[in-house]
Amino acid sequence: MSGSPRSDDIRAAALDLFTRFGYEATTMADIGAAIGVRGPSLYKHVASKQELLVQITRRTMDELLAQHRAAVATTEDPAERLRRATETHVRYHARHRLEAFVGNRELRSLQEPFRAEVLARRAEYEACFRDLVSAGVAAGRFRVVSARLASYAILDLGMGVAVWFREDGEIGEDAVVWEYGELALRIVGADTTAPGVG
């Protein structure tokens, strides 16, 4: 039931509406109308409105973490790891901006224990960035006042992308990704020369 094509349609419609109007302001009737069906009919495919939000946010955090892990696994160099992590972060937020948007803003509407679960995942993700920064500092490659502040700054930039990025906008995905990768290195005061130098 949760993987049927129809329930995928429903999730997609819900994602769109949650993004535009918010979870609370979106009714099951709205979601139904978006796929040409009455509200109650949705219950043949999904268990509840809350389940839709849980699935959307859970999947988003899973993908983000998985892509992050894959990205940092490709190199040992601290600066390069931070760059690739940032690029992955930004690319995800540009490419899945609805998911990222809802995943960030509708956590309040998640009921326990889902809320705690997703928050834990998010804390884990944030810790990954903090560790990347700290590792660079420990290796003498980065120079920051606070690893926490630097990692928040990098993460916030990515979340901002989910808000303003448009597929057909004046700035392309690759341009944003590259620019923000550079920016992350500037935020941590890394010199961009070859590893081992400086």
Partner DNA sequence: GATCTTGGCTAATGATTATTAGCCAGGACC
Partner DNA sequence: GGTCCTGGCTAATAATCATTAGCCAAGATC
Specify the residue, 85 or 144, whose C-beta has the smaller distance to its own copies. Answer: 144
Please list every residue from 61 through 120 that binds its own copies, using CB under 8 A: 105, 108-109
* Backbone angles phi and psi of 195, in degrees to 5: -55, 145
- Verify binding: residue 43, its own copies, rule CB under 8 A: no
CA distances from 167 to 15, 38, 47, 99, 161 (A): 17, 31, 32, 15, 11
Q: How far apart are CA 22 and CA 102, in angstroms?
A: 8
The contact set with DNA (CB under 7 A) reads 4, 6, 25-29, 32, 37-41, 43-45, 48-50
Q: How far apart are CA 102 and CA 131, in angstroms?
A: 26
Tokens of 102: 């809802």
Least separation in angstroms between CB 83 and its own copies: 16
Q: Which does 116 bind (CB under 5 to 8 A by kind): its own copies, DNA, none?
A: none
Least separation in angstroms between CB 148 and its own copies: 7
Sign of CA dihedral 18, 21, 22, 26: negative
* Backbone angles phi and psi of 29, in degrees to 5: -65, -40
Please list every residue from 179 through 198 that binds its own copies, using CB under 8 A: 179-180, 183, 186-187
State how far Cα 122 lies from the chain centre.
9
- Verify binding: residue 159, its own copies, rule CB under 8 A: yes
The interface region with its own copies, picked from 16-24, 67-75, 81-89, 132-140 by CB under 8 A, is 16-24
Residue in the block written with tokens 């804390």: 123
Spatial contact of 16 and 34, defined as CB atoms under 8 Å apart: yes
Q: How far apart are CA 136 and CA 39, in angstroms?
A: 52
**List 48, 171, 174, 195, residue binding its own copies (CB under 8 A):** 171
- Verify binding: residue 167, its own copies, rule CB under 8 A: no
Least separation in angstroms between CB 75 and DNA: 46
Specify the residue, 71 or 94, whose C-beta has the smaller distance to its own copies. Answer: 94
What residues line the site for its own copies (CB under 8 A)? Answer: 20-22, 24-25, 105, 108-109, 145-146, 148-149, 152-153, 155-157, 159-161, 163-164, 170-171, 175-176, 179-180, 183, 186-187
